Structure 1
Amino acid sequence: MSLKYRSDIDGLRTLAVMPVLFYHAGMTLFSGGYVGVDIFFVISGYLITSIIVRELDEDRFTISNFYVRRVKRIFPALYFLLAFTFLLSFFTLMPVHFESFGKSVVSTVLFGSNILFWQESGYFDSQAETKPLLHTWSLGVEEQFYIFFPIMLMLIAKYGGKKYVRYALTLFIASFILCVWGTKTHPEAAFYLIPYRTWELMLGALIALKFFPKTEKPLHTNIMSGTGLLLLCISIFYFSHDTSFPGYAALLPCVGTALIIMSEGSFVNRVLSTKPVVWIGLLSYSLYLWHWPLFALRNYWGNIDIPPFYKSNLFLILLTFAFAAFSYYIVEKPLRVKKIENRKLFFRATYAVMFIGCLVGASAIVTNGIPQRIPEEAAKLAYTPNSKFKTKECYELSEDAIKAGKYCSMGDTESKPVFALWGDSHALALSDGLDKFAGDNKASGLFMSNSACPPLLGLAGTDRAKADQCIKSNIAIADEIADNRKVENVVLVCRWMKYTDSPQKLEDFRAALDRTLDKLKHKEVFFVLDNAEADFDVPRELAKDALLKAYIPALASKQPINISAGTYETMNSNLISLLKEYENRTNFHVVPLYQGLCGPDGCITQYDGRALYYDDDHLSVFGADYAVKNGGALLLEMVK
């Protein structure tokens, strides 16, 4: 006996997918549209549990049957999308991004893209907006659920007296507690990883297991579904990327979804059962798969000079529906209803497809994004290697490691160190240029830097999770420098504007600078104003422009891709004004390094066919060398 079809569940899928689509289109009204994924999780938990438990009770459940259905449901549309997106990315992504795309293909095929994207960045980061397969993280969560949950239910049926509720409730409570804790302490892990999300699936499972009392009274079901719809609306329209999520906030969309599922026959559910709403729900999987690659590639090529309509949200939404309809009717639906006669052959074909998918993705990884795909000039601009100091031996050292003297040397390492480079990731970005500069002048220095950690005593960094560690490591660094008589000079490099963009921050900064200068009163301090920041990924835009000039000159930029003149002074006006108070200190020198990159026409972003930036605000290895040579004349004083 098959599970009863509920058209309102397909309608509920519409409430899940459309907010996600509108959110990714950048429609501010749907600022919490990302909660559509949580709606899907509750629905999945409900349906999968209903199917498995019914078949277990009827003694006809098998793992092979379950996975045949899951593969038929998930794989056809997904692999069609992967193939199409790979081809599109092959011709449009720069090497470093195509290499990253290859990793996402492999991880998607192996059901682990949520783990990859957790390691790489946050869902709301600007870089995430250009990753074509970012949205597959939710498939990773569901696929991992499909691996462990059926086995768990089988074991409960065989050895646990079919007390499914007890175990589902335990999982729900444990996962929810973990989620609330993780949202505060490990927010990205809580967003992406299944242990923190299991409770959402278990909420659906508890509905299927009839844990919650059921009512069929119209008044009660209408109140329940109305309340559920209200909770969904609050989540979709009032949440934003600033909402601490998932955590407690995820209760709203999840409980809202649960209330609607339990209100079969209510007015809201009847509306959800109407044909237009159900039709979108039937397309929901394909809509979800196709919408993000199209938006991501639009974001990636956002500055291209084509008619605005073809970059508009309306066009992208229409295109998403077109691709989704084709995928549903031509790929997804026919293969889903096809009867499988030979399961061994079916699974062999599945493994073969997965192997090919991994092979294709790996080809982009092992070749570093296949730079041969694009013109040599574009590949040269796109290539921005990491600093040689970005290693576990040199960067992000702990307080204990610093006290033990486990930091790296720069420049002429045969000489005694005469300077120390202390700062955050901008210091790391500048390190190779300063290393070469010091080596050319037969001087040696020490490298002491931690990401998101300003080189000032008592000032916490931008990463709240490591604020205490930042303050402690800075104390250790300051002590090491102050006690080292050979080190006469200290170079402070940081993304300073992060700590001076409000009156309160400015006061905290002033106090921290005073403490630091007092600690280093016997040293020469070189305070570096490093470089202007762009509002775009510099090597990507330069390489894309070179690509267009080679293939479609009419679409290429007519002007040099520079950063507007005065950008640095404007963004750092508070800091520059404050530093004037320190002009009379004999051991304090302001090094306007940015001036070596900037002129009347703006701040250059490339020189001699090489990008001067690694991204939008960090200098590349080549850019650091160029900046020090052209704007670091004051630094000569410390290596004489």
Structure 2
Amino acid sequence: MQRDRLIDGYRGVAVLCVVASHALGYHFGTPPPIPRLAQPLAEIGVQIFFVISGYIITTLLLKEEARGGISIPAFYARRAFRILPPLFAYFIGLLLLRRLGVITFNPSTIANSALFTCNTGLTDCEWWVAHTWSLAVEEQFYLAWPLLLTILPRRTGFLVGLIAVLLTAYLLLPAHDHSNWLAFACIAAGALYACNDDVKAWIAKHASYWAWLVAAAAVFLPPLEAPRLQVLTPLAVPYILFASRELPLIRRVLESTPLNAVGLCSYSLYLWQQLFLTWTDVYPLGPPPIMLLPVVVAASYFLIEKPCARIGHRVSNWIKARPLHPAQADLDLR
């Protein structure tokens, strides 16, 4: 899939929202009301990531389907090589720093994160891995979604119904710091945009700067004053992202080189910012120099994330080129 500079720019915006929220809300001890205003940014950034992820993964699967069929093992291979090596490198870094006395935590928290359970509320995930709740959401969704995509006759109807059920659950069930219902709905909204040409055409037709600003306000203001109004987020974020294609000023900013550069390394930045941007008094030996963050992120992206993603694509192509068992061939060609 050719890189989409607009989407890469929004990836950059999303991760910068997380960084700004943690830096202003925790690390730098900024005076009120800045921490309160910064707090929603992390949640908004993650919601943008969810919609983008649902859109991109579904688009790639649909293109693969059009070329002859979706290979489930090949998909899982790509995801594993994309997600796991940078994540495990982060875990190793945490364990080394714990050994050196720079940070403290119970090692079981890394096992909980590695099993993608940090979004369940059933396991203990301390600060250093707490942000991997969002990875857990994505991996749980993608464990099922490619399989469903190969068998569902009416994908749009399924996704609309799924979003409606998730948002109803969000409204009716007790609230939590991170809502799985809202998170899954955002991923499903991205997948819906990828699947349905009518949704794409409607957003393109109704794109305007005023509507874009209203949608942005609908995403940013509810966490401050009316949390339950975040039910609008899975509807507003896709509009914000994809209406931008029709809005030259916004598109020019999103496609700028600096934002695209941040977007390309957004996964590594998302992982490692958690180590650097918490309260300074939690480090027994003092906080690590913030200037090391871009160095660590660059090393993670260029030495681990990018090479492993290439290996994942090679493994994926090898899997798709292998002779298939008849039952698997039948599944892939549905």
Is the TM-score greater than 0.5? yes
Q: Which residue of 2 aligns with 1:134?
A: 130
Q: Counterparts of 1:329 and 1:230 in 2: how far apart (Å)?
A: 38
Q: Counterparts of 2:165 and 2:234 in 1: how far apart (Å)?
A: 19
> Aligned pair in 2 of structure 1 residues 215, 342: CA closer, same or farther (>3 Å)?
closer
CA contact (8 A) 1:286 1:324 kept: yes
Q: Structure 2 matches for 1:75-474, cutoff 5 A?
A: 75-92=84-101, 98-99=105-106, 102-115=107-120, 118-119=121-122, 131-156=127-152, 160=153, 163-182=154-173, 185=174, 187-188=175-176, 191-193=178-180, 195-210=181-196, 211-214=198-201, 220-223=206-209, 227-228=211-212, 231-232=215-216, 235-236=219-220, 238=221, 245=227, 247-252=228-233, 255-267=236-248, 268-296=250-278, 298-301=280-283, 316=290, 318-338=291-311, 339-340=314-315
> Aligned pair in 2 of structure 1 residues 177, 141: CA closer, same or farther (>3 Å)?
same
Number of aligned residues: 304
- Secondary structure of the residue aligned to 2:136 is helix
Read off the aligned partner of 1:112 and give its amino acid letter.
T
Deviation at 1:71, TM superposition (A): 1.2
Deviation at 1:213, TM superposition (A): 4.9
Q: Counterparts of 1:216 and 1:197 in 2: how far apart (Å)?
A: 21
Q: Which residue of 1 aligns with 2:57?
A: 48
Q: Which has the higher contact order (CA 8 A, sep 6+)?
A: 2
- Secondary structure of the residue aligned to 2:69 is coil
For the pair shown, the structure with the greater C-alpha radius of gyration is 1
Q: Counterparts of 1:166 and 1:239 in 2: how far apart (Å)?
A: 28
> Aligned pair in 2 of structure 1 residues 279, 227: CA closer, same or farther (>3 Å)?
farther
CA contact (8 A) 2:203 2:239 kept: no
Q: Which residue of 2 aligns with 1:551?
A: none
> Aligned pair in 2 of structure 1 residues 7, 148: CA closer, same or farther (>3 Å)?
same
CA contact (8 A) 1:21 1:291 kept: yes
CA contact (8 A) 1:228 1:259 kept: yes
Q: TM-score, normalised by structure 2?
A: 0.80
Q: Which residue of 1 aligns with 2:29?
A: none
Read off the aligned partner of 1:212 and give its amino acid letter.
V
Deviations 1:221-263 (A, max 9, x none): 343xx63355436644x465x6554x43252475134332244
Deviation at 1:168, TM superposition (A): 0.8
Q: Counterparts of 1:234 and 1:280 in 2: how far apart (Å)?
A: 25
Read off the aligned partner of 2:216 and give its amino acid letter.
L
- Secondary structure of the residue aligned to 1:38 is helix
Read off the aligned partner of 2:308 and give its amino acid letter.
L
Read off the aligned partner of 1:72 and give its amino acid letter.
F
Deviations 1:546-568 (A, max 9, x none): xxxxxxxxxxxxxxxxxxxxxxx
> Aligned pair in 2 of structure 1 residues 67, 229: CA closer, same or farther (>3 Å)?
farther
Q: Which runs of 5+ in 1 are unaligned?
A: 122-127, 344-640
Q: Which residue of 2 aligns with 1:71?
A: 80
> Aligned pair in 2 of structure 1 residues 299, 45: CA closer, same or farther (>3 Å)?
farther
CA contact (8 A) 1:31 1:239 kept: no
> Aligned pair in 2 of structure 1 residues 179, 299: CA closer, same or farther (>3 Å)?
farther
Q: TM-score, normalised by structure 1?
A: 0.44
Read off the aligned partner of 1:132 and give its amino acid letter.
W
Q: Counterparts of 2:5 and 2:94 in 1: how far apart (Å)?
A: 31
Between Structure 1 and Structure 2, the one with more helix by share is 2
Read off the aligned partner of 1:113 and give its amino acid letter.
C
Q: Counterparts of 2:258 and 2:11 in 1: how far apart (Å)?
A: 12
Identity, % of aligned pairs? 27
Deviation at 1:15, TM superposition (A): 1.4
CA contact (8 A) 2:19 2:277 kept: no
CA contact (8 A) 2:20 2:38 kept: yes
Deviation at 1:75, TM superposition (A): 1.2
Q: Counterparts of 1:297 and 1:336 in 2: how far apart (Å)?
A: 33
CA contact (8 A) 1:25 1:295 kept: yes
Q: Which residue of 2 aligns with 1:438?
A: none
Q: Which residue of 2 aligns with 1:406?
A: none
RMSD of aligned Cα (Å): 3.0
CA contact (8 A) 1:235 1:252 kept: yes
Read off the aligned partner of 1:53 and give its amino acid letter.
L
- Secondary structure of the residue aligned to 2:119 is helix
Deviations 1:302-347 (A, max 9, x none): 8x6x6xxx67xxx53x43222111111111111212323766xxxx
- Secondary structure of the residue aligned to 1:80 is helix
Q: Counterparts of 1:45 and 1:62 in 2: how far apart (Å)?
A: 18
